[in-house]
Amino acid sequence: MSEIKRIDCGKRMSEAVICNGVAWLAGQVGNGATVAEQTQDALAEVDALLTRIGSDRTKILSAQIWLADIADFEEMNGVWDAWVVPGHTPARATGEAKLASAQYRVEIIVTAAV
C-alpha cells in the first residue's frame, strides 16, 4: 500500500494530502475587499503550500474555483491568467457556490503532481 502523507492534519481537515506523487490541496481563500485581491491572496496561499510540499505551479493537474457570485468570473480570470504558467495550464472548472463565510468571494482547490 502506498504511503499517505497528511500536511497540517487537523480534526476536520488537512491542508494537503499526498499519495502516489499526487497532492490534493484544501480549498484556499484570501483576504481583500475585491475578488481580484482575494484571488491574488488565495493564489499566494496555493504557491506557498505547493512550495512547502515540493511542487509548483507548473505541476498543477487540475483546479476548481468557486465564486460566491459567477458575475465575478472575469475579475477572477484577470488574476488567474496572470498567475498561471503559459503552457502549463491545468484542467479547470469554475462554479458559483455559497462559501463558508460571507466575507469570502473566491475559493481555489488545486490538485498537483509532487
Query: 32-66: string of b/e by CB count within 10 Å (b at 16+)?
Result: eeebbbbbbbbbebbeebbeebebebebbeebbbb
For residue 39, report the phi and psi dihedrals to the nearest 5 degrees.
Answer: -65, -45
Write the pLDDT tens digit of every residue in 16-68: 999 999 999 999 999 999 999 999 999 999 999 999 999 999 999 999 999 99
- Counting the structural domains of the chain, the total is 1
Q: In 3D, which of 30, 28, 44 has the Cα closest to residue 82? A: 44
Whether the model clears a pTM of 0.85, i.e. scores above it, the answer is: yes
Which domain does 69 fall in, by range? 4-113
What is the rounded distance in angstroms from the CA atom of residue 86 to the CA atom of residue 60? 12
Residue 29 belongs to domain with CATH number: 3.30.1330.40
What is the rounded distance in angstroms from the CA atom of residue 80 to the CA atom of residue 20? 28
Write the pLDDT tens digit of every residue in 59-79: 999 999 999 999 999 999 999
Element (H, E) at 17: strand 16-19
